[in-house]
Structure 1
Amino acid sequence: MQATVEWQNGLVFKATSGTGHELVMDGNKTVAASPMELVLAAAGGCASVDVVSILEKARQQVTGCRCEVAGERADAVPAVFTKVHLHFVVTGHDVAEKHVERAVQLSADKYCSVAKMLEASVTITHSYSIEQAN
């Protein structure tokens, strides 16, 4: 796996993944997300892929999944994350709580590579709620 990050101007950089996908990062957060915001988004995205995949394999009728990610950072430089909380809001038709709980737990304990990488130095917690689809 590889990526290239190229300076655009100011503190704006364009990242290109090894698969050719591009995204913009901004150290000032004026035109794009900062690299640290993208770390949170990556954790939420990785875990969400797991949760949805596991729920689909369990034949749950999921119509939506949102992961709200909150991070706390150290006061000193480097301002690394010290705590990250992932809250999953799963929407669907008669989605069983036991399946959501299991999916979130499996993502946390086994599958989410981003969270597993971060947990060496970050306290990561998880929660979930289920909403009935209209």
Structure 2
Amino acid sequence: MSEHSERSVVVERTGSGRFVATNARGGSISFGTASDNDQETVFTPVELLLAAIGGCSAVDVDVATGRHAEPTRFSVTVRGDKVSDDQGNRMTNLEVAFTVAFPEGEGAERARAILPRAVKASHDSLCTVSRTVEIGTPVTTTVADA
């Protein structure tokens, strides 16, 4: 079964090296290029990619485990190496590490027991972001009239 549902964001330049992405529901996030001289802390596009991978998996895992117990700690660290070689600039060695703790109790035991399966299911089929990266979906670029 194949399901298609378009998603989109609009990215607008707000200043030199500064942008804002807005989704169809009106949500927005600012980002840009980072330099050592930046007074403002901003996410770079690569950091947004890492956040999207971690966030997508976090949502999947939280839904699965949260049915059984509220975590006392839920943290996802996403890291990778930025390389520049004959294939161009890209990220390699992407890793997603979950640190999740639950209180004592029967529900918490069930949540702990399903945690590894939930992480695996997110990676193998549920997380649209990491699945897109792993499959290697082509990106088409165009220039529209202003």
Give your verdict on TM over 0.5. yes
Q: Which of 1 and 2 has higher RCO (CA within 8 Å, sep 6+)? A: 1
Q: Distance in 1 between matches of 2:63 and 2:24?
A: 24
**Cα deviation per residue 1:46-98 (whole Å; 9 max; x = unaligned)?**
000011111123x1342331101111122237321122100111021144443
Other structure's SS at 1:28 match: coil
| More deviation, 62-71/89-98 | 89-98
Deviation at 1:28? 2.5
Q: Distance in 2 between matches of 1:33 and 1:117?
A: 21
**Structure 1: gaps (5+ residues):** 122-134
* Other-structure match for 1:118: 133
**Structure 2: gaps (5+ residues):** 1-6, 137-146
Other structure's SS at 2:116 match: helix
Within-5 A mapping of 1:51-70: 51-57=61-67, 59-70=68-79
Residue 106 in 1 paired to residue 121 in 2? yes
Query: Which protein is richer in strand relative to its size?
Result: 1
Q: Distance in 1 between matches of 2:116 and 2:26?
A: 35
* Other-structure match for 1:28: 34
Taking structure 1 as the reference length, the TM-score comes to 0.80
Runs of 4 or more, structure 1, over 3 Å off, are 94-97
Larger Rg: 2
Alpha carbon RMSD of aligned pairs, Å? 1.7
